[in-house]
Amino acid sequence: MSVEKRQYYFDQSKGMGIIVKTVTRLTVGIVFLFGINVALKGHLVPGGGVAGGGAIALALLSLILAFGKETALKNINRKRITMIATLGMMMFLFLGLIGLIGGNLFSTHFMDNEGKFGILKANIIPLFNIAICLLVGSGVYTIFITLIMLQVRKGSDK
Amino acid sequence: MLEIPLLIIVPLLGVFLIVAVARKRSPVAGIISILAICLIIYLYKNVLCAIANSGSIVYEIGGWSMPEGINLIVDGLAVFMLGIVYFISFLCLLYSIAYMKNSFDKWKYYTLFLLLMSGISGVVLAGDIFTLFVFLEISAIASYALVSISLEGGALYGAFGYMRMGMISSVLILLGIAISYNYLSTLSIADVSLQLGIRNQAGNMLLNNNIVIIFISLLFLTGFALKVGLVPFHFWVVDAHAFAPAPVVMMLSALIMPVLGIYPMLRIFFNMVGITPRLLSLMMIMGILSMIIGALFSLREKNIKRFLSYNCISELGFVVLGIGIGTKLAIAGAFLHMISHAISSSLLYASAGAMDYARKHSDEKNIDITFKTMPLTKGASVIGALSVIGIPPFNGFWSKMIIITAAWIAGYKGNCLIIVIVLILNAVSFLKIQTAGMVRGDKKKSDFAALEVPFLMRLCMIILVCFSLFSGILWLSSAREAFLDPAVKLISQKHSYSQHILWK
Amino acid sequence: MIYLLCFVLFGVGMYGLLVKKNIIKLIMSMMISSYAIHIFLIASGFRRHGRAPVLDLSNNMQKAVMVDPLPQTLVLISIIVGAAGIALLCVVAIRLYQKFGTFDITKMKEEIED
């Protein structure tokens, strides 16, 4: 750990105390991976894109809570996260539209349902789960940073 | 076939394209949304051709068949509503490109507009009540955001009142959906109707006296009446209309209130739970109350937007009254009045917005802008007013005459008297507000700079005036058979809907 | 029993929505009444000794005692839709507080009419 990083780490004015920062540093990765796990196994066990996306968004939010909004927003800014949300939704729509190509109906299961690979056993449902996971994770995060970035002052615009 | 989901998907694609591409370059946002609307209108034309042969089309998303899966259903009523929606929203978009030219963050406006379009298409096409609810919420949230888009104090306050009532209504609708799912274990509109029919025949219950069905009907009636702003629930309408930008108010009064309120009401009462005489008379009372109270309150108002919003309540009261009378002729009149309300109210709001625009963009701040310098706006406003009052060549006359005739034939002779009194009240209040607009500036014409609004706004008003003049044609036989009759037929024959949809 | 709880919660939410003046309390009442309906939906899908609604082909016997999966989906969607609405409401509430310096809607109305 470099000197500046260490100084920041002990700085009480930005974010919360050192205990919270350390615990957050250790757990964020695990929560993130858990979210991805829940999203990818959504077609086999209870869970799915929404739950996984929620877990991912909560991991990102705990970063904001522990380290203060300046640090967190410097790394994951609003424009980038909106682009990810758009990407997720576009992916969802295009997966639906692929079904139309063969003259089928919207969001038809277009792959052969042979089940050779573990993740493709449920046809396009895992892909939908991934899209939803991207969308929900970044969407919830966007909502919260929008609320955080509004400067609340009493009667400031009066 | 292919076009039906695309009616919902194309505006959504436009939304994401705007978010991805046009955040910095805001002229692109307008171009994208115009292109999206044009594409939708082209697709709608194809749907119209397809529906002419077969009567109704069921689109099964993902290949899941009728009662289980999510389905989009196109039939006469849906085609009719979509026609009004796309026509008015295309004109609104033209109008707003000129109106919103100098406003901040235009891409947000266009994003919300396209989201609203997608939501409204979804509401009209939805084949089960929960899909209908989800699209209802999408379009309602988009419209809350649109009302508050100017971020002024009044607009935010109006939007908050709108949201409060909208949230109450969506909670009530969701409760109705939950109870009906709990009772019948199905969500599809056609299937609910079928199950009710089966139980009715088996003698387990009588449709008219079953307490659960009555409770569900009352929940839905209250929820959707809140969305329309009928009289016991009309408090949000005026505040929401008073401060929002003009194109948004055009959408709100001409499309959002009828399509989110009256259309689901028709679908649910006539095609799903089955209409009863008690419900019909309840709807009739609500319609009459909102007509009278809207007209009386509009006498008092001086601000033109608040005045027009009371007037809008009264006009929607006419539509609900026509539905409440319940004969075939009355329902046809109600549909015709829905079109004529869409045209005349958007014409009135367009002219009011043009006055606002001129006031905002004039160089000298204290100049007294009247109708004198803007002959076209003045003409548009006068024609809109004449149409609302019901003077013969304009559209309002035909629809109101049909509703009066239907009420007379059905035996509600007191209602005819009330309608005539309301029309006289409308005439008085419009006369008052028009004279206030015309006479007040007693300066000469040369004192004012030429202040006519931009070309696109004028074009929009001219198109609306033309339609206001000629939409009486819709009652002629050939146009009526193509457009009005399928919708009326769908509503008036009650239980054949489910059989038509389920066993094609 | 649980249905009674739902209706009590719904009544509390509706009372708050119609009576309260404070914006934050209004938002909380909305959330309470919508959660009451979510509980109602989940309770309507409940089966005694039911298990998670994932189809397991190796074990066909248990298919009968699955809980009803549809209300859970409905609740999930309705939570997401409600969350979007609540977020928008929060933004509007914060903006209103910036403009007027109060959370009381009657005071706001007085200030607008002045």
DSSP for A20-86 reads: HHHHHHHHHHHHHHHHHHHHHTTTTSS--HHHHHHHHHHHHHHHHHHH-HHHHHHHS-HHHHHHHHH
3-state secondary structure of B71: strand
B179-228 pLDDT, tens per residue?
988 888 888 888 888 888 787 777 655 555 678 888 888 999 999 999 88
In a domain, A35, yes or no: yes
Check CB contact of C84 with chain B, cutoff 8 Å.
Answer: yes
Structure tokens at B452: 């006519």
- To the nearest whole percent, how much of chain B has pLDDT over 90? 15
The single-letter DSSP state of residue B58 is E
- C interface with A, Cβ–Cβ < 8 A, is 52, 54, 76, 80, 83-84, 87, 90-91, 94-95, 97-101
What is the pLDDT confidence band of residue B42, given thresholds at 50, 70 and 90?
very high
B141 pLDDT above the threshold of 50: yes
Count of domains for chain A: 1
Any chain A CB within 8 A of the CB of B59? yes
**If DSSP codes are grouped into helix, strand and coil, which group holds residue B452?**
coil
Q: Is the distance from CB of B387 to CB of B341 less than 8 angstroms?
A: no
**Contact yes or no for C44 and B182 at CB 8 A:** yes
Chain A hits for B62, Cβ within 8 Å: 99, 105-109
Using CA atoms of B99, B103, B107, B108 in order, give the dihedral in degrees to the nearest 10: -100
Query: Hey, how many other C-beta atoms are within 10 angstroms of the C-beta on B430?
Result: 22
Region label for B332, one of left (φ > 0), alpha (ψ between -120 and 50) or beta (otherwise): alpha
The tokens describing B428, both together, are: 């008085």
Mean pLDDT, residues B149-172? 88
Residues 6 or more apart whose Cβ sits within 8 Å of residue C19: none
A132 within 8 A of A38, measured Cβ to Cβ: no
Shortest alpha-carbon distance between residue B130 and chain C (Å)? 8
Give the closest of A45, A50, A146 to C54, CB-based.
Answer: A45
Average pLDDT over residues B19-24: 77
A33 lies in some domain: yes
pLDDT of residue B137: 92
Q: What percent of chain C has pLDDT over 70?
A: 88
| Residues of B whose CB is below 8 A from A109 | 62-63
Structure confidence by residue, pLDDT tens digits, A93-135: 887 777 776 656 666 665 555 555 554 556 677 788 888 888 8
d(CA C53, CA C65): 9
B8-17, B198-207, B252-261 — which is least confidently predicted?
A: B198-207
Contact assessment for residue B266 and residue B338, using Cβ atoms and an 8 Å cutoff: no
More confident residue, B1 or B328: B328
**Residue B133: its pLDDT value, please?**
93
Contacts of residue C85 in chain B, CB cutoff 8 Å?
137, 140-141, 144, 163, 167, 170
Query: Lowest-pLDDT range, A85-94, A100-109, B139-148, B314-323?
Result: A100-109
Query: Please, which chains are in contact with B (at least 3 CB pairs closer than 8 A)?
Result: A, C
Residue A156 has pLDDT above 50, yes or no: no
At a CB cut-off of 8 Å and minimum separation 6, what does B165 contact? B226, B233, B235, B236
The span from the CA of B32 to the CA of B62, in Å, is 28
Residue B234 zone, left/alpha/beta (φ > 0; ψ -120 to 50; rest): alpha
Burial of A131 (0-12, 13-18, 19+ CB in 10 A): buried
* In chain C, residues 18-37 whose CB comes closer than 8 Å to chain B: 18, 23, 26, 30, 33-34, 37
Alpha helices in B185-210 (DSSP H): 189-202
Tokens 């002219």 belong to residue? B351
User: Over 60: is that where the pLDDT of B369 sits?
Assistant: no
Strands B71-74, B57-60: parallel, antiparallel or unpaired by DSSP?
antiparallel
pLDDT of residue B271: 82
**Position A75 in a domain:** yes
**Total count of residues recorded for chain B:** 504
Please give the backbone phi and psi of residue B73, each rounded to the nearest 5 degrees, phi first.
-120, 125
Secondary structure tally for chain C: helices H, strands E: 4, 0
Could you read off the pLDDT of C14-35 as tens digits, one per residue? 898 888 889 899 999 999 999 9
Mean pLDDT of C91-103: 85
Decide if A31 is inside a domain: yes
Instruction: Give which of B263, B346, B303, B290 is closest to B95, Cα–Cα.
Output: B346
pLDDT over threshold 70, residue B368: no
| Range of weakest confidence among B147-161, B164-178, B303-317, B461-475 | B461-475
Choose among A83, A90, A100: nearest Cβ to B2: A100
Which position has the higher pLDDT, A136 or A107? A136
Q: B22 or B379, which is more confident?
A: B379
- Which residue of chain B is at minimal alpha-carbon distance from A88? B16
Decide if A64 contacts A143 (C-beta within 8 A).
no
Q: Is the pLDDT of residue B136 over 60?
A: yes
Per-residue model confidence (pLDDT) at position B446: 47
Q: Domain range holding A140? A: 3-149
Q: From CA B180, how far away is CA B128, in angstroms rounded?
A: 12
| C47 CB-side CA count, 13 A | 16
Mean pLDDT calculated for residue range B436-456: 58
Q: Which is nearest to B356 in space by CA: B172, B90, B105, B150?
A: B150
Those chains having 3 or more beta-carbon pairs within 8 angstroms of chain C are A, B
Nearest to C34 among B154, B164, B171 (CB): B171
Lowest-confidence segment of A137-146, B165-174, B445-454 by average pLDDT: B445-454
Is the per-residue pLDDT at A155 higher than 50?
A: no
CB spacing of C101 vs A154 below 8 angstroms: yes
- The answer, yes or no, to whether residue B120 has pLDDT greater than 90, is yes
Interface test with C, best of B131, B133, B146, B175 (most C CBs within 10 A): B175
Of B134, B161, B163, the CB nearest to C77: B134
- Subunit contact B61:A90, Cβ cutoff 8 A: no
Residue type, A49: G
Tell me the CA distances in angstroms from A19 to A6, A10, A11, B137, one per residue in order. Answer: 14, 10, 12, 43
Judge whether B155 and B290 are in contact, CB under 8 Å.
no
A155 is a domain residue: no
Q: Token match 């997608």: residue?
A: B118
Element (H, E) at B400: helix B395-410
Phi, psi for B58 (deg, rounded to 5): -105, 125
Q: What is the mean pLDDT of chain B?
A: 83
Position B428, amino acid: V
Within 10 angstroms of residue B198's Cβ, the number of other Cβ atoms is 10
Query: Hey, what's the torsion of the CAs at B118, A128, A64, A76, to 10 degrees?
Result: -80
Report if residue A8 sits inside a domain: yes
pLDDT at residue A9, rounded to an integer: 64
pLDDT at A13: 64
pLDDT tens profile A61-98: 888 888 877 777 777 777 788 888 888 888 888 877 77
CB contact under 8 A, C97 and A146: no
Give me the domains of chain C, ranges plus CATH numbers: 2-51+64-113 (1.10.287.3510)
Question: For the segment C66-89, what is each residue's pLDDT rounded down to a tens digit?
Answer: 778 888 888 988 988 888 889 889
Which is more confident, A40 or B360?
Answer: A40
Q: Is residue A56 part of a domain?
A: yes
Query: Which chain C residues are Cβ-neighbours of A140 within 8 angstroms?
Result: 83
Looking at residue B52, its pLDDT comes to 78
CA-to-CA dists, residue B451 to B98, B352, B448, B454, angstroms: 14, 14, 8, 9
Structure confidence at residue A152 (pLDDT) = 58
CA–chain centroid gap for B248, Å, is 12
What pLDDT, on a 0 to 100 scale, did the predictor assign at position C73?
85
Compare CB distances from A105 to B19, B23, B60 and report the shortest one's residue.
B60
Average pLDDT over residues B452-475: 81
> Is the pLDDT score of B442 beyond 90?
no
Q: Does C102 touch chain B (CB under 8 A)?
A: no
Q: Which run of H or E residues covers position B96?
A: helix B76-99
pLDDT surpassing 90 at residue B173: yes
Cβ B62–A106 below 8 Å, yes or no? yes
Whole-model pTM: value is 0.90
For residue A150 the two structure tokens come to 């509004």
Closest among A53, A48, A37 to A126, alpha carbons compared: A48
Give the pLDDT confidence of B385-432 residue by residue, as tens digits.
Answer: 888 888 887 888 888 888 888 889 988 888 888 888 888 888 888 888
Q: CA distances (Å), B331 to each of B95, B147, B328, B422, in order?
A: 31, 31, 5, 20
Confidence of residue B124 (pLDDT cuts 50, 70, 90): very high
Average pLDDT over residues B70-96: 89
